[in-house]
Structure 1
Amino acid sequence: MKRILLPTDFSDNSWNAIDYATELFKDENCTFFLLNAYTKIIYELVHISDVPYKRNVENTIKTNAVTNLEHLKKTIEHTTINEKHQFKTIAAFGTLVEVMEEFVKSKKIDLIVMGTKGASGAKGVFMGSNTVRVINTIKKCPVIAVPENFTFISKPSEITFATDFTHFYSKEELQPIVELAKSFRATIRIIYIQKQKGVLTEEQKFNLGMLQKYFKDITYFQHTLTQSESISKSIKVFAEELDIYLLAMLNYPHSFIDKLTREPVIKNMAFHTQIPLLVIPELGMSSALSKTIKSHSKLEGI
């Protein structure tokens, strides 16, 4: 049974992500964990006599979180009747990322599905700060970030996997893509965006060969795009032309998604994609092997 974590702040955006997740996996046995993280209201000027009042406030916040989660659970169960799905609620004290990191481990979560913005998300921003923190902090669980205006139509028949072939892919890293492709009977489109025309390096050829090996039981196509203006725009245009409904990327140092979530580009429209983004974390072993392969490639070139 798939175990999926659904963080919520009870905004329309988080509801949209929940709806996306339940529809996407409607034919699979799943346990969905509805999570709301709450923190204390801290007053700078508090006297000892005010402590009981603070405790009452904190208890009220927790009670509200529990009540809202139960209401949300009942709403979901009423609107999306599915015997294959069960829902559990979690109201926890702490920051969202800290709480999620803990529950990913303790509940053995397979996937996180969340909205790209919170209740106070600013217009024109690709990802809210919470989504970015989750992607950069939680290293053992893939994340699907769902844009606020994305409407679920059907399961994706094609999945775009954007890469530059400079990373050694492990079987474990690619497992989420492989599982989704098999479950949805989807085609994978591997897109390599090059800055200028040229042949692949020995390192890239090796990594491409490993990728082809892992995708051998799935229908896939390879595409090479020459970067025109920006990588983000090239991917966006490609996805729109082929009606892609899920874009997948690996998150490792200096990868596209790593730069995307760390640089000021987040704050403009450079990558204002309108399709869900599957972000897969790097595993430690693949990082070490990537460095080894790069080292060997350099030696062979001497």
Structure 2
Amino acid sequence: MNNILLLTDFTIKSENAHDYALKLFKGQKCNFHLLSVQKFWEYTMDDLMVANPQDDINTALLGDNKASLKETKEQLIKKTLKEDFNFHTLVDYDVFTTAINDAVDSYNIDLIVCGTNGKSDIMESIFSSHTLRIIRNTECPLLAIPEGFKFVNPTNIEYLLDYDDLFDPCGKEPFIRLVKSCQSTIHVMRLNYGFIIESIDYEKEQEAIIKYFHGTPVLYETHIDQEPIAVIEESITRLAIQMQVLSAHKETFMERVFSNSHLSKIVNSAVVPILVLRTCHQ
């Protein structure tokens, strides 16, 4: 049983992410939990003043979201009548990532799914987009779907290994289930640009990846001292990539400010879905 958290803000972006997830998990038994997070600071005293005096604060703050979630749930049920899917609705008013972490813990979530439209603002490194906030503040795998990207079975998956990411089988279970289900070919992009954490034996790393994904075609490329985003953009077209996979760990505020990781650039420049795995060494 897959327990999947579908984030929604009732926009076309999130609806598209939901559709992608439903098609990706077609034929599998899944519990989908629809979560809407209402930022509590968006409400003012005026909002409470115009509410029905017989309503409690919870109803006054969340009533509209609950109604919208119910409608979204009904639409998803109609789309998937032949599937073994269950849908549940969750609504919360809290700090965005706190609400997500609470849902992950309460419902044993295996995967978070969200829509993304990227963010290139200069202040992203500090405040970050919603997608990056989830990556940096949760420990659950995340599947981010770019706005407007329509589902296609990911038979060509690009596995990105940045300079600070050494292959480790730990935490790769969602990845191996994905490639088996979709009968994918894995295209490993070993990126080593900028700072080198430790020397990498590329031949041994390639052998370890092939062994772990036994039975799955694995192609391994090394790109040393080449600008990562340029390499990624070129390879997506050349290899007809339909999904990217990378590993990430939670970051503190200071780590984010001073880190030279390419995580932000990769996520914000994404044109295909990205599966973000969690490292076992947070």
TM-score range relative to shorter protein: 0.7 to 0.9
SS in 1 for 2:59: helix
- Matched letter for residue 183 of structure 2: R
> CA 1:233/1:168 → structure 2, altered by over 3 Å: closer, same or farther?
closer
**Alignment deviations for residues 198-220 of structure 1 (CA, whole Å, 9 cap, x no partner):** xx935555544433331223221
Give the structure with higher Rg (CA).
1
Q: Does 1:223 align with 2:214?
A: no
**Alignment deviations for residues 22-81 of structure 1 (CA, whole Å, 9 cap, x no partner):** 011112111110001123345489xxx99997x767523311111110100011112333
**Alignment deviations for residues 79-123 of structure 1 (CA, whole Å, 9 cap, x no partner):** 333331111111122122111111111211111110114xxx878
> CA 1:224/1:91 → structure 2, altered by over 3 Å: closer, same or farther?
same
> CA 1:164/1:36 → structure 2, altered by over 3 Å: closer, same or farther?
closer
Paired residues, what number? 268
Quote the offset at 1:240 in angstroms. 1.6
Identity percentage over the alignment? 26
Farther off after superposition, 123-132 or 175-184: 123-132
Aligned twin of 2:199: 201
Q: Does 1:238 align with 2:241?
A: no
Aligned twin of 1:13: 13
Aligned twin of 2:263: 260
1:250 touches 1:257 (CA, 8 Å); kept in 2?
Answer: no
Partners in 2 of 1:204 and 1:226 — Cα distance?
11
Aligned twin of 1:60: 60
SS in 2 for 1:26: coil
Structure 1 segments, 4+ long, off by >2 Å, are 39-45, 49-53, 55-61, 79-83, 121-128, 164-172, 193-196, 200-213, 224-228, 252-261, 270-273
Q: Does 1:79 align with 2:82?
A: no
- Matched letter for residue 190 of structure 1: V
Structure 2 unaligned segments of length 5 or more: list them.
none
- Matched letter for residue 106 of structure 1: S
Q: Which residue, out of 190, 206, 212, partners 2:210?
A: 212
Structure 1 unaligned segments of length 5 or more: list them.
288-302
| Aligned-pair Cα RMSD in Å | 3.6
- Matched letter for residue 210 of structure 2: Q
The alignment's TM-score, normalised by the length of structure 2, stands at 0.81
Q: How does 1:1-302 map to 2 (within 5 A)?
A: 1-40=1-40, 41=42, 43=44, 59-117=59-117, 129-139=129-139, 141-152=140-151, 154-164=152-162, 167-195=165-193, 201=199, 206-228=204-226, 230-252=227-249, 258-261=261-264, 265=265, 272-284=269-281
- Structure with the higher helix share, 1 or 2: 1
> CA 1:164/1:178 → structure 2, altered by over 3 Å: closer, same or farther?
same
> CA 1:39/1:162 → structure 2, altered by over 3 Å: closer, same or farther?
closer
